Every structure is written in C-alpha cells, then in structure tokens.
Structure 1
Amino acid sequence: MRDLLGRERRAVLLVVALHAAAAVAGLAAPWLLGRIVDQVAAGAGVGVVDRLALTIAGCVLVQALLSRYAQYAGHRFGERAVARLREEFVDRTLALPVSVVERAGAGDLATRSSVDVSTVGTTVRDVVPTMAIASAQLVLLFGAIFLLHPLLGLVALVGLPSIWAITRWYLRRASPAYLAEGAATAELTETLTTTAEGARTVEALRLARERITHGTTRVARVWSTRRATLALRTGFYSVVEASYALPVAAVLLVGGFFLTSGRVSLGAVVAAALYLQQAIEPLDRILQWTEQAQRGFASFARVLGVGQVPPEPPGRASAPAGAPLVVRGARFAYADGRDVLHGIDLTVRPGERLAIVGPSGAGKSTLARLLAGIDAPQHGSVRIGDCPVTDLDPAERRRRIALITQEHHVFIGTLRDNLAFAAPDATDERMRSALVAVGADWYDELPAGLDTELGDGARQLEAAEAQQLALARLVLADPHTLILDEATAALDPTTARRTERALAAVLTGRTVIAIAHRLNTAHDADRVAVLADGRISELGSHHELVRAGGAYAALWHSWHN
C-alpha cells in the first residue's frame, strides 16, 4: 500500500490537505452554535445572532466545497492506482510459468483479476482516504472538546473502551474469515466456469446431477464462509451502535452538574454535545470501512500473492543453432508423487519428424511438456545440445520450440488480431497464406476477411476452425522445433490428413514431434517412439517397427484393419 501511495505522492498530499481543511471548517459550526447560546443567555440582540448564523452557513458551505473537491481528487487518484494495479497483475500473471497458471485454474485467476482487483480498488479509492481523514476528524473533534473543558473531554472518551475492545476482537478474526470467503468464491467460479465450458460433455455423459451436486457443495461452502463473516459483522456493529450513545449521555449529565456549579457555560455543554454527535459520523465511517478494509486487504493479499510466486526465470544460457534435442534419464511426477515418466532416453535430430504413439495415460503429453520446457524433470535432463531447455531465455525458448495442443483459444478481436499474436509484423498476404497452408477453407466465407470480428457476440469458430487458426499461428511463428500434441484431433480424418501434409510441406527442414493416435502420422514420420507405462518400449522407423512385430506392429494392424 505504501508503494502504491508513494507513486502518487502529490495527489495523496492534495487529497489529505483538502480533507484536513474541510475537517477544520467543520469544527466551526458547533463552536459558533455554542456562542449563540451564550450570547442569547447574556441578552444579545438579533443582529449578533444573525451574524453568527451567517458565519455558520459560510463554514458549512466551505466545508461542503472542500469535501467535494477532496472526493473528486481522491477518486481520480484511486482510478489511476487501480489501473496500474490491474496492469501489474496482468504482467505478473503473464510472467508466471505456464505450469503454475494451469495449476491455479482459470476460475481462481479470473476471481483475482476481477472481484479482488475491484475490491482493492474500493479500498484504495475510498477506504484508506476515508479512514485516514475520519481519524484526523476524530482527533480534531475530541481536541475541541478538551479545549472547551478538560473534564468534558475526559467524559467524552467513555464510549471508546468498548469500541476498542470489540474492534480488536473483530480484527483478529476477520482477515482469515474473509480469506476463506475469497477462496470459496474462487472455487465456485471455477466450478461454474468448467461446467459451462463443458456443457456438451456434461449433457452427453449425463453428468448434470453430478455437476449440480458438485456445484451445490461449492455454494454451500460459500454460504458457510459468508455466514461466518456475517456473524462477525453482527456482533461488531451491535456493540458499536450501543457505544455511540454513552459519551453523549455522559457529557450532558456531567455537563449539567458542572453548569449548576458554574464551572462551564451552557454554550460549552451544547458545543461539546454537538461535537460528540458530529464525531459519530467519522467514527461510524471508520468502523464501517474497517469491515471493507478487511475485505480489501484480504483481496490485496490475493492480488499481490500472484507476485509472490517466482516468475519464470530469465535464461542463463543460449543453445547453438542446429543442435539436437536430447533427453537423458528423465523422470517426472505430478503433485500426487506417482512417477508418470520413468527414465526416458531420447535424441531428436534437427529436421527430423518424430512420432510418439502409445495408449492413453502412457505419458505422451507429459513428455511433450518436458520437451517444450514447460515442466522440468525431477531427475535427468532435457537439453538442446549442452543447454538445458529450462535454462533458455523464455522468449528464445518459445521462438525455438512451439507446443500446440488440442486446447485452443480464440481471442476477442478480429481474425487479423488473432493471427498477429504469433507474428506482429506479418503482412496480410502472409496471414492468408498461413490459413491456406492449414486448409482453413472457411476463411473464404468470412464477410470481412481478416477484419472479421471473432469471439463472443461475433463470429463463433467451431472447434475444428479454432484448431486450424492455432495451426495458422504456428505457421506464422515458424519455430525451429514444433511439438504437435494431438493438434489435429478436432479435425475429421480427411481434413486432418490434408492439414498434416500441408504443414509438413510448409515446415520443411523444421524438427517436428507429433503425438498422435492416428497412425497415419506415424507412418509418414522418420522415426516412431512407442511409449508405454512411462517408458519408451520401441524406437525406429515405421517399417522397422512393423517388421519387428512388437507393440507398434499390433497397434498398426489393429488400427489399419
């Protein structure tokens, strides 16, 4: 927070100065009203009262103008600060390793970037300035009471111990409670997002009841965490509201006693009571915003927590051009600790077309992630020449190695925008050629060509079209090594075959590693690696493996027949 405020020091000082001036102007009215009471008691004329009344009106007007401009300056500062916070959040998220982003899930990151950032915005724009200024107002108001009479000032503090005690009780419990509420909300968002995105699968597999049960469990947890925070607020506000009346009643009682003994004037007692009545509003703001501050700082922790995850480290080495991709003794396990890969040894020669085949669950996609440098093996190494893939600069690694999976994203924007992600300087002609190369015949039907809007509310691409768009990006990116993890799975067999041959022609001379269930891909490859139970059981050309009569031959004959 200090860093965020420090970047806008002038704006913060202006807001503080305006609010402080408004607070000082607000002190005049109760004091002047007390003066009116004393003047009337002393037999002053109407003219004196009118002058004091006009002065009160002037002070109220000045206070209103100063408060209005203070709020205006505060909101401008807050919006700038939140905009910067959003940009930094996106930068930090994009700097994270891909594996971390995948483990976090879209729902969690979406909640942090929307709900949490919005809550932080309210905290920066409203909560912090309000609490700071309200605290200053309280100091000035109680100071004014002490100036009227020290004993009245001491009596005015009678309600603070109970407020302090309940606030301390609340703060000790609020932060973990609101963090739990934020986590539960993120889980619910994740559940709703995945259910909506997989609606067709849910319908096809008749999983509606299971997804409803799963969602209901998440809703119940959100309800439980919100009920817990509501219980905290209920106890907190009940005690606070009861504490407001104590100092006013005490000042009137004690002030009446002092008045009869001649220690204070009637105007001083009236002014003190009005100051206390006036103090309720800033004190109420502080206590109300204390609850919002707990939400805000919990959200702040979730937003800034992304920055606590170590970013993808900068490259410490560079790999020589034309070096082979070498895997030696690679072992890898996910969070459950069970090894998925067991001592993989593999050398992919430059310009080679290698197919990796095997049953589902054999570890093909995991091996692809290691080859692309998304994950690092727990044991062994994956190197380009003598350089570990994960030691390459992330930008260089992505230029050299591209991993294309079955999951493709169509960004909201034009077709040109979607293609330009891969090659910002690509001409329209290059973009059209890339679409032709992957057999994207649907391009000819677009009403505005490359300027056609895609995404929600515009032209929706089907799964096969989105896959071809991703492959067209790949052609434009033109990496040294291409890893296709079932990248044509959404295409029908004929289109997939035509697309793979077109890609092979376009990417001549590039290293291509294809993970495929369609064995036509393996037939066309220079070599085939058969993966079973996390190990390479066979390695050779298609014809060599068929003649060997092993697992690959059985797969080929089963598929071919």
Structure 2
Amino acid sequence: MSERGVGEGLADLGPARAGELLRLLRTTTPVLTSGLTLTALLALVAGAGRIVTPLTVQYALDHGLLHPHPGTADVVLRAVGIGAAGTVLAALASWWLNRRIFRRTETALAQLRADGVARIHEIQFERFGRLPSADLVSRLTSDLDAVTTFVQNGGVLLLVNAAQMVIAALLITAYSWQLALPALAAATLLLVVMRRIQAVVGRRFTVVRERVSAMQSVIGEAVTGIGVVRSTGTERRSRAAMDAAVEETAAAQRHTLVPLHTNTALGEVAISFITAFIVVAGVRWSTDHARWEPALHLSAGELVAMLLLVTFFVRPLQQLVQMLGEVQNAVAGWRRAMEVLATPSGVVAGPAARELPPGPIAVDLHDVSVAYGDNPPALRDLTIGIDPGEHVAVVGETGSGKSTFARLLTRQLAARQGRVLLGGVPIGQVSDLSFQRRVAIVPQDPFLFDASIADNILAGVRGDARALDEIVDSLGLRAWIETLADGLDTRVGVRGARLSAGERQLVALARTALVDPDLLVLDEATSGVDPATDVRVQHALGALTVGRTTVSIAHRMVTAEHADRILVFDHGQVVQNGPHGELVARPGRYAELHTVWVGHTLAGGPVPSPRDESAPRGCDERRGPTSTVRNDRSTP
C-alpha cells in the first residue's frame, strides 16, 4: 500500500515544503496564527496553576505540619489559600484558552472551507477533470472534521499539558538535578523515537484519509446510480465494489496500528522507568542520605513535592504518547485541505488579462494540437477560421474530436501547440470576467441546481422577473412553462431529475440566452431530446443562434444542413470544410455521413427544422444582415 498522500493534480506539499504550507496557513487563516503570544501565555498560566499544588504541599510540610509551632495553622492556611488561588487561576486560564482556541479554530476552518470552495472554482478545467469530485468534497468536509474533533477532544489539553510538563521538568531539576538528569534523558529519548514514529504514522494516516475519500466516492456513486443498479440487476457488483472500498479503508486503518502500538509500548516503558527511578532513588537518597552527598538530600516536604511533580511530568507525557494517532489524523486532514488552497489558480485576471472586442467573436486556430494527458493528440494540426456571426456546424463520427474542439474553444482544454485566437486575442489571455460574459457552452447534459426553473435560468446572472419573462417569450417557451403546475417556480430536483432531457435543455438554453454571449458553442445540445420536446428545442436554438458566432457540435445532420458552413472531423483533423450544398454533392466523408443519416431519418420519421424557414437566410434580427462569405483561410 502506498504511503504517499497527495491527490492527483493537486499541489505536492511534501515534508521539504512544510515551510510553504505554514506560510500559506498564515496568509489564508490569520485568525489562527495571530495572537500566539497570548495563547502561549494562557497555556503557561494554566499549566503553572496546577504545579502550585506540589509547592504548597512542600511548604505546608516543611514549615508547619512536620515541625509544629504556634503559627502552624497560619502556615497551613496560607499554603492552602495559595494552592486554591493557583487552582482557580489555572481554571480561568484554561477556560479562556479553550474558548479562544475553539472560536479561532472554528473560524479558521470555516474560512478554510470557504477558500477551498473558491479555489476549486478557480482550478483549470483540464486539471479539474482529473480530480474526483468526492475527493475534493472529502478534503473540505471529513478531513477538516478530523481537525475539529482533535481540537475539541484534546487539542487544548495537549497544549496545557505541554506547558505543565516543561514547568514540572524545571522544578524537578531545581530540586535535584541528579535525579532529574536520568528522567529527562529517558523522556528526551522517548520524544526522539516518537518523532520518528510520528513521520510513519503521518504518512499512513494520509493514506487513510485518501482511502476514506475513495470509499465515499464509491458509496456516492452507488447511491446516485441506484436506478441503474436496480434496473440492470447489478446489485451484487455494486456491493462488491463497496465492500472492496470498505476493506481497503479498514486495511489502511489497521496499517496505522503497528506504529501506534509500538509508540504506546515504548511510552509505557519509558514512563514507568522515569516514575520508578525518581520514586526509588528519591526515597532512598532522602532516607539514607548519610551514604550520599549532602547535595542529594531532600527534605520530607521536598520528597513529597518531587513525587507529585513526577506525576505532573509523566501524565502529560503519557497523554502525548496516547494522542499521537489523533494528532497525525488531524494533521493529515489539515494538510489535505491545505493542498487544495496550494493548487495554482487558473483565473486569468490582472494587468496582463485582455478584454474581448465588442460584437460577434471571430475564431482563428493556427496549427493547433490538443491531447489528454500523455495520450496521443485528439486534435492535430488544426488551422481553422470562423467569421464573426457565422454559424459553423462540426460533424464526424464518435471519437473524431468534435467535443474536444468544443472544450478547446471554451477553455476546458489548452492547446499543446499552436495558437487559438478569439477576436484576435489569444484565448489564454482573455480575462475570466470577459470570457464568462462573452463565451458560453450548452453541453449535451446541462447541469441544473436543485431549485426552481426561474432560479436555474437566473443562476449567475443579475436579472429580474422582466428579463426572465422576455427570455422565455423570445425563445418560445411560454407554452411549455404554462403546462407546468408551478410555472417558473417548478422545482427541477437534484440535477434536474424531475425534468426530461429536452426540458433540461430548454432551461439551459434560456439560461444561456440570458447571458447573451457573442460566441455560442452547442455541444450536441439536441442529442438526447425526446420528439415531443424537440420542436421547442429547435425553435429555441434557432432564436438563440441569431446574431452571434455559433459553433454547433452536430449529432444530427439537420443542424448541419442549416448552418452557414460545415467542418467535417475525422481522427482529430478537418477533412472537409464548406457549406452543406457543396459537401453533400461531392464524394467524401460528409456525403457518407449524410446518406446514413437520411436513411435513418426516412425510417424513423421527419426531423423538424432547427429554425423557421420563413426567415430569409443571412438575416440577423438583432444586428442586421450577416455575411455568408465562406472563410478562405480555413482548411480546404
């Protein structure tokens, strides 16, 4: 089992870059790192308040109880008063420390979650496609929950105990450095060994967090895909996958037990040695001090105080040993969340970013090649020009590169070589804000939020009811909306499950129309539409494509027939380029595809036209006449 715990595509923050992670922590969550001096002071006061008890016991014994005199009662009362005051002070400091750390930690984790979500939205599409969504969700939920659990269950106690252990060690040394030296040497050796074990445990807990993330992904798919599982009778296969994921997680958890148990065993041995040595040697030297140097002699009160201080030294050390697993689990979760923030942002902004020119956007590709990872190029040596306001259809068999071309134009993929220009501006230099306002894609399966139709149409756009009504009417969707029980207030369900595929497309088209882009990419937007809704979708598409540069990834040839120009893709290259009338009239790939499509169409019934044929070709209802001149810069 691998112990390397960095998610694919995220920043690799190994031990050598721990300083970078801490700097990022100070930058992103200043509330957690500010005021550390006060936090340390409160921990010292809380720890020192506990240590007052052994000192008051020594004072009461040596100056009163063991040597009675007229002022014994006053001595004892004074010692008890000081001890009580120290205990109260320690309690107040501990309460303040708990409140301070809890509030700051929860504030910091909430900020970390919010910043993590924001950074996820900024990750480049190409990198984001390699990241399992369940892993990203796990990093910002269960991984950070491990930090919360640790802080609430022992984080503050660990801090106070560390301060208490340091103060107790100093006092033991002050009472008798001869007794303290072996004890501190054993404790130091234990801490050194623990540090080595800590590195192993940390790596293994990182693997545990990754296995938990993978398990959540498998369970999530089994739940969301329950309809497919039941309808196909694959319950056994689904359960086997879940069982395997659960077993891998359990195995990773068990893998952490060996170093943890080793650490606990070594801790018990070292702690037992420290306690036994100080008790036996201290009592021996105190009761038989004639045989030892006078400097080793301890009074009865000092001996009792020494024995109590051993408890105050050993107990925190023992808790530190026992909490190693919780500490490393929290550190692993925190590191995985920080890796999200450390992932480079793909946002294009600032002085170097450029705006797209006004009006319909021209598209120019020069010797462009695109590949997915280390795979062979999906697009090769493309040189294509699309005029402003032109409607271009892209056709080809499955795997020919059509959808890759759509992803390239919408910055979901970056060219490995060559230049992609939008309106004369390199696509990588276009500011995010300009790109979002001017370029839009309608995918095959649009994503809808679990909200109303109106909310989905208005998502991400500043619009009001009037703008919404205008869009619905302009796309001819009013008749469909009126058939719904709640009209525009109809809830669509998770991912739009309460709507048909065609109805989801209608909502997506209305949402895109409200954005009013100048470059529209339709990625087979009608491929899954049922016949009953197809007429509405085609009418909406016809209205939406008017007056803007449009690239339609055509699944059906009816879209290609009514486009200004057609690009025929085959094995990642454009093999034909021209209008429908020219391409269908001469032998070639397009004529073959069209012939096959016509045969299926005649067998299955007529296919509605994508726009009203009564409107003259080349007429732009928004911007006036459009050019029908074919781009002679394109691949022949």
Shift in Å, 1:143: 1.0
Alignment length (residue pairs): 560
Q: Secondary structure at the match of 2:547?
A: coil
The equivalent residue for 1:218 is 245
Could you tell me which of 540, 543, 561 is aligned with 2:578?
540
Query: Mean Cα displacement is larger for which, 475-484 or 455-464?
Result: 455-464
What does the per-residue CA deviation read over 1:272-327, in whole Å, with 9 as the maximum and x for residues that have no partner?
11112122332234334433332233223322222333221525444433452112
Q: Secondary structure at the match of 1:369?
A: helix
Q: Is the 8 A contact 2:211 2:249 kept in 1?
A: yes
What does the per-residue CA deviation read over 1:152-193, in whole Å, with 9 as the maximum and x for residues that have no partner?
322542541452243033123122212222222222222233
Pair 1:232–1:390, CA change in 2 (3 A):
same
Q: Is the 8 A contact 2:394 2:552 kept in 1?
A: yes
Pair 1:177–1:499, CA change in 2 (3 A):
same
**Structure 1 unaligned regions, length at least 5:** none
The equivalent residue for 1:271 is 305
Could you tell me which of 19, 27, 32 is aligned with 2:43?
19
**How far, CA to CA, are the matches of 1:522 and 1:458 in structure 2?**
29
**How far, CA to CA, are the matches of 2:331 and 2:266 in structure 1?**
24
Amino acid at match of 1:32: T
Amino acid at match of 1:486: E
The equivalent residue for 2:67 is 42
Q: Secondary structure at the match of 1:343?
A: strand
The equivalent residue for 1:179 is 206
**How far, CA to CA, are the matches of 2:450 and 2:361 in structure 1?**
38
Amino acid at match of 2:308: L
The equivalent residue for 2:414 is 376
Structure showing the higher helix proportion among its residues: 1
The alignment's C-alpha RMSD in Å is 2.9
- 1:311 matched to 2:382: no
- 1:70 matched to 2:97: yes
Pair 1:497–1:530, CA change in 2 (3 A):
farther
Q: Is the 8 A contact 2:116 2:140 kept in 1?
A: yes
Shift in Å, 1:40: 2.3
Q: Is the 8 A contact 1:130 1:285 kept in 2?
A: no
Pair 1:158–1:325, CA change in 2 (3 A):
closer
What does the per-residue CA deviation read over 1:126-154, in whole Å, with 9 as the maximum and x for residues that have no partner?
77655444322211111122222323322
**Structure 2 unaligned regions, length at least 5:** 1-21, 290-296, 603-636
Query: Mean Cα displacement is larger for which, 115-124 or 12-21?
Result: 115-124
Q: How does 1:282-301 map onto structure 2 within 5 Å?
A: 282-301=316-335
Percent of aligned positions with the same letter in both sequences?
27
Q: Secondary structure at the match of 1:421?
A: coil
Pair 1:432–1:13, CA change in 2 (3 A):
farther
Query: Mean Cα displacement is larger for which, 531-540 or 463-472?
Result: 463-472
The equivalent residue for 1:260 is 287
Pair 1:440–1:333, CA change in 2 (3 A):
farther
Q: How does 1:39-118 map onto structure 2 within 5 Å?
A: 39-43=64-68, 48-118=75-145
Q: How does 1:420-431 map onto structure 2 within 5 Å?
A: 420-424=458-462, 426-431=463-468
- 1:432 matched to 2:469: yes
The equivalent residue for 1:362 is 400
The equivalent residue for 2:382 is 344
Shift in Å, 1:367: 0.8
Pair 1:181–1:442, CA change in 2 (3 A):
farther
**How far, CA to CA, are the matches of 1:93 and 1:549 in structure 2?**
48
Amino acid at match of 1:268: E
Q: How does 1:186-265 map onto structure 2 within 5 Å?
A: 186-262=213-289, 263-265=297-299
**How far, CA to CA, are the matches of 2:488 and 2:97 in structure 1?**
48
TM-score by length of 1: 0.90
Query: Mean Cα displacement is larger for which, 372-381 or 290-299?
Result: 290-299
Shift in Å, 1:547: 1.9
TM-score by length of 2: 0.80
Query: Mean Cα displacement is larger for which, 362-371 or 492-501?
Result: 492-501
Shift in Å, 1:10: 5.6
Q: Secondary structure at the match of 2:583?
A: helix
**How far, CA to CA, are the matches of 1:228 and 1:16 in structure 2?**
35
Pair 1:542–1:210, CA change in 2 (3 A):
farther
Pair 1:460–1:497, CA change in 2 (3 A):
closer
**How far, CA to CA, are the matches of 1:320 and 1:65 in structure 2?**
64
Shift in Å, 1:84: 1.8
Shift in Å, 1:430: 1.6
What does the per-residue CA deviation read over 1:311-358, in whole Å, with 9 as the maximum and x for residues that have no partner?
215254444334521123222221242221222232222212222122
